[in-house]
Structure 1
């Protein structure tokens, strides 16, 4: 693969056979497991040839800039603590301690942890209840406008898009409303790292966005990205990211992010288009959330089932392990790593389980006060 500045720099330095009188303790020798052995050679610490994540620049900075271009944003920070690290850092940048925050009720727990750490005062945004699909729908720009008018002291908004079920909100429309009120839009896009490779410019209107490469791209667990528009600099991202990230970030994980981007641009995007086609066919042939229910991630397969947990257990018995289930849904995450044989196997399993309309779930309970 071409244009992998960090991976190339690490390999070049390892090829010099340096005497490693520094961390990590394996000193570049094979790790004691065949599956991990090859990683040690590029697993370094902060040195002049390898760079420092939280100093900026160098090969790491070059690799981050390439990712920012993919998302049509101004800057990027590599995260080795998952989207949890990114959400904590983003809200630290967006919200002065003790301030208010307008947030999606369905946010990840990291957003609630940030509120506790920063003493933020939440106002919760309702999502419309989509009874036919038994899921919550997109965040309404009109509702955001209403809440910002009612709470003019709030200058930061945090939403989740896509949701775990694949529902997308209209980020440009939300950003326009929020910016009109002088606010900052933070998007937890943990499940949407693949969207640019499907031709969807979903995040560039946001001020800060967090995506988990490891959730939907060929990247190792915990690898993620914090992205920013022009309102926040790369130095801002490093400052906030360093608060919540290890001072010894994993070089193999960062190299994997570098390689992941190059792979996706060279061949992964075409594979993802095929995945979207396979998912569209499965949505036609099996009860599932579709675009008639809500705007959806083209590759998230949320099956409808009258007994979701039982269906999950049955699929597991057939050797198919879903991401999650609830009383009326089973959520699957197809990616570019799934080929024709994988989809054939999935289809064969789905033909053997009970799918159909969700139970008549009531909408979520009323929003908590203050």
Structure 2
């Protein structure tokens, strides 16, 4: 039986405090020397912060080969999250997603995944040469948003591709949609395939009550968890969780292919401290978050025109569960794209939400929020409806367009390419990414056929104010297509 560790400990934080107390004279990097060499930076970030922005050394361990305090901190994280092992990640969850795919797959291997994955997953295919077998997610026709993968669709993909190495699952999606992860894990394992879970938005599943099940509790082999998103650590800090007897040494070697050798101790210590906080207080933290979100959801739905969706989404074959901490709001009912409301909230009301697409917005509510903050958001949405609402006729009505994949992402990305104006690219194979950020889910990926619908969507999204990224041409007037 696994022995639970004392979660009130924070070994990495304690080691950094001891380092400060020892008043070590630094003749190593970083060159700001605890802030003394850059007074303006010290003034901006604070002396306490810069005093622990240090380099790897024996008393502080080394992320690439942890044997002491980082090792202890990772063991505590694994215990808290119910994993066999946890890796601290300082390159963002992107590095964790890449490590999952590159651990499971080599060049030419197939991996089953939904097409509405984050760009980091498709970038992983470009890096390692794996070939995607896309499962089109379900779609909610009213909201126009992609849902999860149905178990039946995953089963069909497995039966058609019995040599695939893994099944990749988004859980939850940006909108809060969860697939039937437990059933997918059982199905994949029965066919000798690993299950990799992009759990970037699911830290709270491990600690809250009444929430969808976590990847580790469902038996997944690997999960990438953005502790910074809803768990309180610093931006860019994350966890990679593994179980089922995976080779820890091999996974660490894969991580070392893309993760920095100069790990930030600010990020590492924030993971250690946040894990401690969640392990000790996570239950009450996320109970409070749920109360705030449910209150906001109810108030927004009373305004009229908006639709803040919740548990009623469940019951569809592609929606096994809904993450009730997500404040996802459908906006087309008031004749405004989500990105338009996103801009209005920031520019006119001083409120920064997570993202807006062409029909929805997402506001992240966390332990750092309170009733007054939620009231301010609800009031601003009421004012926007009263002052800015329009006739919704003619608005683009869906976020997900089924791709036509005709070449592997790696082959298309490295192929000879030419630039064409967007409208003239219809019919060609895409040689780069086109996506709105956030959320960072590609509209087009390398190897996909460019269609009129996709170009119409892209131009519409730009006109509404979405930030398009992924293309070499920053002006987004031309696109790289595969030559020939």
Cα offset, 1:268, TM superposition: 4.7
Indicate yes or no: 2:162 matched with 1:149: no
Cα offset, 1:340, TM superposition: 2.2
The 3-state SS of whatever aligns with 2:261 is coil
CA distance in structure 1 between the partners assigned to 2:247 and 2:67 by the alignment:
13
Indicate yes or no: 2:89 matched with 1:73: no
The 3-state SS of whatever aligns with 1:231 is coil
Residue from 311, 315, 332 that aligns with 2:341: 311
CA deviation map 1:23-55 (0-9, x unaligned): 221232454333343112222222110001111
CA distance in structure 2 between the partners assigned to 1:194 and 1:142 by the alignment:
28
Cα offset, 1:158, TM superposition: 1.2
Cα offset, 1:65, TM superposition: 1.3
Query: TM-score scaled by structure 2?
Result: 0.72
Q: Cα–Cα, structure 1 residues 170 and 47, in superposed 2: closer, same or farther, change >3 Å?
A: same
Cα offset, 1:341, TM superposition: 2.1
Q: Which residue of 1 aligns with 2:146?
A: 136
CA distance in structure 1 between the partners assigned to 2:91 and 2:283 by the alignment:
25
Where do residues 345-356 of structure 1 align in structure 2 (5 Å cutoff)? Answer: 345-354=376-385
The 3-state SS of whatever aligns with 1:351 is helix
Task: Give the alignment's Cα RMSD to 1 decimal.
Answer: 2.1
Q: Which residue of 1 aligns with 2:72?
A: 62
Q: Cα–Cα, structure 1 residues 339 and 236, in superposed 2: closer, same or farther, change >3 Å?
A: farther
Query: TM-score scaled by structure 1?
Result: 0.94
CA distance in structure 1 between the partners assigned to 2:293 and 2:249 by the alignment:
40
CA contact (8 A) 2:42 2:50 kept: no
CA deviation map 1:286-316 (0-9, x unaligned): 2212111242212111111111233223222
Deviates more, 1:61-70 or 1:342-351: 342-351
Q: Which residue of 2 aligns with 1:299?
A: 325
Residue from 366, 371, 396 that aligns with 1:340: 371
Cα offset, 1:177, TM superposition: 0.6
Unaligned residue ranges in structure 2 (runs of 5+): 1-6, 302-306, 315-320, 407-484
Deviates more, 1:19-28 or 1:317-326: 19-28
Residue from 120, 129, 150 that aligns with 1:110: 120
CA contact (8 A) 2:10 2:273 kept: yes
CA contact (8 A) 1:124 1:367 kept: no
Cα offset, 1:97, TM superposition: 2.1
Residue from 290, 294, 304 that aligns with 1:276: 290
Q: Cα–Cα, structure 1 residues 160 and 352, in superposed 2: closer, same or farther, change >3 Å?
A: same
Q: Which residue of 2 aligns with 1:23?
A: 29
Q: Cα–Cα, structure 1 residues 43 and 177, in superposed 2: closer, same or farther, change >3 Å?
A: same
CA deviation map 1:317-355 (0-9, x unaligned): 112111111221111111111122212222222222238
CA distance in structure 2 between the partners assigned to 1:39 and 1:311 by the alignment:
36
Corresponding residue pairs, total: 370
The 3-state SS of whatever aligns with 1:84 is helix
Cα offset, 1:174, TM superposition: 0.9
CA distance in structure 2 between the partners assigned to 1:28 and 1:35 by the alignment:
11
Q: Cα–Cα, structure 1 residues 35 and 46, in superposed 2: closer, same or farther, change >3 Å?
A: closer
CA distance in structure 1 between the partners assigned to 2:293 and 2:71 by the alignment:
36
CA deviation map 1:262-289 (0-9, x unaligned): 1223335413211111111222232212
Q: Which residue of 1 aligns with 2:462?
A: none
CA contact (8 A) 1:268 1:336 kept: no
CA deviation map 1:192-219 (0-9, x unaligned): 1222121354111211100111122211
- With a CA cutoff of 8 Å and minimum separation of 6, indicate the structure with the bigger relative contact order: 1
Cα offset, 1:362, TM superposition: 4.6
Q: Which residue of 2 aligns with 1:186?
A: 196
Deviates more, 1:300-309 or 1:258-267: 258-267
Residue from 255, 259, 262 that aligns with 1:241: 255
Unaligned residue ranges in structure 1 (runs of 5+): none
- Larger Rg over CA atoms: 2
CA distance in structure 2 between the partners assigned to 1:338 and 1:356 by the alignment:
31
CA contact (8 A) 1:175 1:206 kept: yes
Q: Which residue of 2 aligns with 1:123?
A: 133
CA distance in structure 2 between the partners assigned to 1:9 and 1:42 by the alignment:
10
